Structure 1
Amino acid sequence: MTLDTPLDCKHKKQYEFNVRDEVAEKCKLGLHAMNGGEGPNSYAQNSTYQRGVVDAAKTIMEEEIAMKLDVKHHSSTHKMPFRIADFGCSTGHNSFPAMQMITEAVEKKFHTEGLASRVPDFQVFFNDQLVNDFNTIFHSLPPERNYHAAGVPGSFYSRLLPNASLDFAYSSCALNWLSRAPAAVADHTSSAWNEGKVHYTGARHEVFEAYANHYANDIQSFLEARAQELVSGGLMALLVPAVPSFKISNTSYTTPTEMDLIGSCLVDMTKRGRISKEKIDSFNFPLYFTIPRELQAIIERNPSFSMERMEILNNQGKLTLTSAHARATYLRAVFEGLLVNHFGGEIMDELFDRYTKKLAASSLFLDPNNEKSIIIFVLLKRKAE
């Protein structure tokens, strides 16, 4: 049977089983992705928050490219394409406007430097987890785009591209995701065991420390991988979900989050016999929200990059979802794959129905004045070897 031969029913079923087994195995390794497709619970239809981040960063990104990008060096090898990568692109709907903005800003820089005749071709690499819906990315590519597109599946916490092959790296709303939840928080023999909880908020200090240490190691891995892939003088723009500086007590990090609200729904379902206590004790969200000084310290420990700019985006009022339904579908688009991997798909409707009702009854989460999340903009330059 060749690649061009249509699959008969028997072979088609066997192929589908093989694909399911492969996805299941990847899920065991901690891989997950945003909801694919373009349906009502898809990330494509429920990611206006992330699109707001891109819009808020547009002016700063254009300014930094105009001031910091060395196009004269690239023009000396003008037959080479200008290569850009988006690390953590999901299904692409928020990546496309970001890539268009970056390529247009680079092209403008060539013109202002008197190098209009040397504007290169652009090549964009779209990266996300192996289980990401890359079909939706390529099905949805803007027809009038000014770049060539390629997919690069794999964890961005490891090396993905050839040495010195990238001119510009970009990541938005992705570096709050850990490579996986810290192992210690699901280990009942560890002092960081997070029994009955699903995140570090409201947990003991040891749990928070396990998350913080894991995050620092992950960011170092990310920077080390990008240092190999970026050319000398190449730029990297990061839009990192974070929280303002906080104080933690000696026993816990106490600010409640919507992960805690999902956790409380799971506990309710345990009491009704819908899921086991062991399932909750072995599940933790692989998410960490840094603070500015912590992120700065982690980056400054890496010798390969210079910090060109770091600031909190002025996005107040642009990113808050005030409807319980909108907020629930947004979080379902983000977390459903992760939750299905651990708890199974049969409880998802009940879980998010409970979550929506709790959210609607909450005076905390739907009040825009209580929205404390921030986005940190970071621009790094690859130092010369």
Structure 2
Amino acid sequence: MAESFPMNGGNGVYSYTKNSLLQRNVADNAKLMVREAIIENLDIQTKTFVIVDMGCSVGPNTFFAMQNVVQAIKHKYHSTCSQIEFHVFFNDHVTNDFNVLFESLFSDHQKTYFAAAIPGSFYGRLFPSRSIHVAYSCYALQWLSRVPKGLIDKKNKGRIHYDGASIDVWNAYVDQFEKDMEVFLSARANEMVHGGLIVLVLPSIPSEQHSKIGYRIFTFVESSLIDMVNEGIVEESLVDSFNLPLYFPSDEDMTKVVEKNGCFSIEKLEITCLQCNIDAKSFIIHIRAGFEGIFTKHFGSKITYEIFERTLGKIEEIEAWLETEYYKTTRQLFMVLKCKKLIL
């Protein structure tokens, strides 16, 4: 069973609702590509389009994304759009704060679709067979269903991720990613109508750089933890047993898993630069909004609070990393898949 890693709910200072500008920029950067992909590749005749955002979190980014999808379909079928209705499903783990999500949604009186929640992991079936026309997911599939097995035995000591770790640790993450993607694609192959589209946007490291760079923000958090170990605040074994369930795939990774699955054709695959400008303090708070829950589950709230406070103390170092490396090397992967083979 997939583990649950929800973003911070509510409307507090460290909530995802108030700290998801990075993700909003990603969705905005992909807006035109999503629109073009739907207009060029969607060719289905129906009176009701069923759309799902997989990994919707708590808003507001999901609302902008879903409205973009709806508008693109309306443009595609403009001659009959007055007869078309839309049903949008917002999907995330059962622990997601759906109350905040729907409070925000229903405050918008201009919504042009029927809405419903579908709690559950997208690493498994969520919908009846042949019921989905467009599945969308933005910055969600980098989350694995679970931490790869055996990382303690692989001696990922003092690290909380595969960045800078041994090849054995790296391979464990790759294996988990490939297993998860096979489950994801097979489940969608059951649920999608023939010709239905899956639109994916996720953080990526290009294949030519995959073994050279990583997502170094975690090394700053690691150093805070190691300092706390050296000061006797945190047990070393507690740090060694903690690893983040995240993998940032390359374009080759994604092509491999899709071709192996065999149920979808790749209509578009593009690696683009991330266009975002954010200061170091805001960046750390964004990371906290997304990761505080998983840290708290393992370390407890008191230690987790201090982890992020100490990381805030590395502002100058993180600012330098953002300017010299992050904006130059971070990429986002845009992929459009069309369902060509139905699983019976």
* Same fold, judged at TM 0.5 (above): yes
Q: Does 1:176 align with 2:142?
A: yes
Q: Which residue of 2 aligns with 1:285?
A: 244
Distance 1:361 1:100, change over 3 A: same
Q: Which residue of 2 aligns with 1:193?
A: 155
**Structure 2 length-normalised TM:** 0.93
Q: Structure 1 CA distance, aligned partners of 2:253 and 2:82?
A: 44
Q: Structure 1 CA distance, aligned partners of 2:59 and 2:6?
A: 12
Amino acid of the structure 2 residue aligned with 1:40: V
Partner of residue 230 from structure 1, selected from 183, 192, 198:
192
- The one-character-per-residue Cα deviations of 1:231-280 (angstroms, maximum 9, x if unpaired) are 0111110002111224677xxx6646111211111111111122111111
Q: Which residue of 2 aligns with 1:54?
A: 27
- The one-character-per-residue Cα deviations of 1:94-136 (angstroms, maximum 9, x if unpaired) are 100010011111112111xx32453x21111111111111111
Q: Structure 2 CA distance, aligned partners of 1:248 and 1:179?
A: 21
Amino acid of the structure 2 residue aligned with 1:344: G
Q: Which residue of 2 aligns with 1:67?
A: 40
Structure of greater Rg: 1
Partner SS, residue 183 of structure 2: helix
Gaps of 5+ in 1: 1-25
Amino acid of the structure 2 residue aligned with 1:347: I
Tell me how many residue pairs correspond in the alignment. 339
Q: Which residue of 2 aligns with 1:329?
A: 285
- The one-character-per-residue Cα deviations of 1:134-156 (angstroms, maximum 9, x if unpaired) are 11111000321101111111111
Distance 1:271 1:60, change over 3 A: same
Partner of residue 59 from structure 2, selected from 72, 92, 112:
92
Q: Structure 2 CA distance, aligned partners of 1:136 and 1:368?
A: 37
Conserved? CA contact 2:280–2:319, under 8 Å: no
Q: Does 1:162 align with 2:128?
A: yes
Amino acid of the structure 2 residue aligned with 1:174: A
Q: Does 1:82 align with 2:44?
A: no
Distance 1:369 1:32, change over 3 A: closer
Q: Which residue of 1 aligns with 2:295?
A: 339
Q: Structure 1 CA distance, aligned partners of 2:32 and 2:251?
A: 21
How many percent identity over aligned positions? 40
For residues 295-306 of structure 1, the aligned pairs below 5 Å read 295-306=254-265
Task: Work out which structure has the larger RCO, using CA pairs closer than 8 Å and 6 or more positions apart in sequence.
Answer: 2
Partner SS, residue 146 of structure 2: coil
Q: Does 1:381 align with 2:343?
A: no
For residues 15-34 of structure 1, the aligned pairs below 5 Å read 30-34=3-7
Q: Does 1:109 align with 2:107?
A: no
Q: Structure 2 CA distance, aligned partners of 1:299 and 1:367?
A: 34
Partner SS, residue 291 of structure 2: helix
Amino acid of the structure 2 residue aligned with 1:290: P
Q: Which residue of 2 aligns with 1:218?
A: 180
Q: Structure 2 CA distance, aligned partners of 1:320 and 1:176?
A: 22
Gaps of 5+ in 2: none
**Structure 1 length-normalised TM:** 0.84
